[in-house]
């Protein structure tokens, strides 16, 4: 049987509920944007014009150009889509209207983890589709401020050794690989399921002195491995990208952790443009995503750029982290010691 392409896949989106089929043009436009972005990313500094290249551009010049071109590409691909009311692009407060009769909203981050590109590591794109609440007048910021449970579709794409697209329309998660020979995404990972058990966790160790106590407890137990309470060894992975972390979780399970360190310089996940679509993918693949105290999908942001913690991965691992948070809040972990995070190691409090 011939491999199923994304185009064929999208023709079936909405069946037997044909009412949902009217946002497939949005998904198709996003997929085309991702294909074009993959081509631009693969060129690196060559994407700049000759005059800029002659001036020895910095990585910031390249990254800025790629971000700008990705956004420009998305807007060009979506400008005539009647069902699309408006777009919110990560990092911008501007609401970009598309169709006055549209019933959907699109949230998009064109290049997440763009700093990885200078080291030839993966970067990615992430998107989310919401229904426009009924009202009169132009689309406003308030229309986008919906809980993640309101999403009708979400997905990510990674630009690495191969370009992959992971997509959900509310009926599971499917993974596609870009076949450059034919110029189309091909279904290669149907109905992805996050493994219930895994030996991988991902967290930024540079923030260790500032992790909340429940996170320190979780990480210490993993680091202790077979000699600790978990009874087996764990591997730690970190690529400074929520999209890479989410993709690894979808394939290999485990837990991706972005805790609130309380530092103004710390990175937290943008709720609308990152956390909500990643949480939808995780839950649709049998996993979970939490802030530590509640489902990420239940969070209603107050602004377009609101950020928060996210713990995403295998349902059991997320539940364990939530339990540690609850026990800490109730003072029931007071006797638990964290030797890895005191002055006996580099993880100094």
Mean pLDDT of 81-91: 96
Residue 116 has pLDDT above 90, yes or no: no
Residue 115 has pLDDT above 50, yes or no: yes
Q: Beta strands 84-89 and 104-112: pairing type?
A: parallel
The tens digit of pLDDT for each residue in 136-176 reads 889 999 999 999 999 999 999 999 989 999 999 999 999 99
Model pTM score: 0.91
**Which candidate, 7, 33, 29, 287, places its Cα nearest to that of 159?**
33
The tens digit of pLDDT for each residue in 253-301 reads 999 999 999 988 778 999 999 999 999 999 999 999 999 999 999 999 9
CA distance 155 to 281: 7
Secondary structure of residue 272 in the 3-state scheme = helix
Q: Give me 133's structure tokens.
A: 């609440």
Mean pLDDT of 70-77: 96
Secondary structure of residue 271 in the 3-state scheme = helix
CA distance 184 to 141: 34
Query: What pLDDT sits at residue 321?
Result: 96
The tens digit of pLDDT for each residue in 204-250 reads 999 999 999 999 999 999 999 999 999 999 999 898 899 999 999 99
CA distance 135 to 112: 32
Exposure class string for 167-202: b at 16+ Cβ within 10 A, else e: bbbeeebbbbebeeeeebbbbbeeebebbeebebbb
Cα 335 to Cα 263, 327, 338, distances in angstroms: 26, 11, 10
Q: How many CB atoms lie within 10 A of CB 149?
A: 15
Q: Which helix (H) or strand (E) holds 176?
A: strand 173-179
Q: Which residues on adjacent β-strands are paired with residue 145?
A: none
Residues 6+ apart with CB under 8 A from 26: 78, 81, 83, 84, 104, 106, 129, 153
The tens digit of pLDDT for each residue in 32-63 reads 999 999 999 998 888 886 546 556 778 888 88
Query: What pLDDT sits at residue 344?
Result: 41
The tens digit of pLDDT for each residue in 302-329 reads 999 999 999 999 999 999 999 999 999 9
Query: What pLDDT sits at residue 75?
Result: 96
Residues in the chain: 349
The tens digit of pLDDT for each residue in 180-204 reads 988 899 999 999 999 988 899 999 9
**Which candidate, 160, 163, 167, 156, places its Cα nearest to that of 181?**
163
């Amino acid at each position: 049987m011939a491999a199923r392409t994304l185009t064929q896949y999208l023709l079936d989106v909405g069946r037997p509920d044909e009412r949902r089929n009217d946002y497939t043009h949005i998904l198709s436009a996003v997929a085309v944007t991702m294909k074009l972005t993959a081509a631009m990313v693969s060129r690196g500094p060559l994407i700049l014009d000759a005059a800029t290249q002659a001036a020895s551009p910095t990585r910031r010049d390249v990254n800025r150009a790629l971000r700008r071109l990705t956004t420009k590409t998305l807007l060009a691909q979506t400008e005539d889509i009647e069902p699309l009311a408006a777009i919110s692009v990560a990092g911008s407060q501007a609401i970009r209207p598309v169709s006055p009769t549209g019933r959907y909203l699109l949230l998009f981050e064109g290049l997440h983890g763009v700093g990885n590109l200078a080291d030839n590591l993966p970067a990615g794109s992430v998107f989310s589709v919401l229904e426009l609440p009924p009202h009169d007048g132009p689309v406003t910021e308030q229309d986008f401020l919906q809980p993640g449970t309101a999403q009708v579709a979400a997905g990510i794409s990674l630009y690495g050794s191969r370009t992959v697209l992971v997509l959900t329309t509310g009926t599971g998660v499917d993974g596609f690989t870009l076949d450059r020979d034919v110029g189309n995404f091909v279904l290669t990972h149907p109905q992805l399921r996050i493994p219930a058990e895994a030996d991988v966790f991902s967290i930024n160790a540079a923030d260790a002195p500032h992790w909340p106590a429940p996170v320190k407890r979780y990480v210490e137990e993993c680091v202790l491995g077979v000699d600790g309470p978990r009874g087996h060894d764990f591997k730690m992975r970190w690529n400074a990208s929520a999209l890479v972390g989410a993709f690894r979780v979808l394939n290999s399970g485990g837990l991706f952790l972005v805790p609130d360190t309380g530092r103004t310089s710390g990175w937290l996940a943008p709720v609308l443009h990152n956390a909500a679509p990643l949480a939808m993918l995780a839950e649709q693949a049998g996993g979970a995503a939490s802030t530590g105290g509640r489902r990420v999908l239940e969070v209603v942001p107050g602004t377009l750029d609101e950020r928060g913690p996210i713990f995403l991965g295998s349902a059991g691992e997320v539940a364990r982290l939530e339990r540690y948070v609850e026990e800490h809040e109730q003072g029931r972990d007071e006797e638990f010691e964290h030797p890895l995070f005191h002055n006996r190691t580099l993880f100094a409090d």
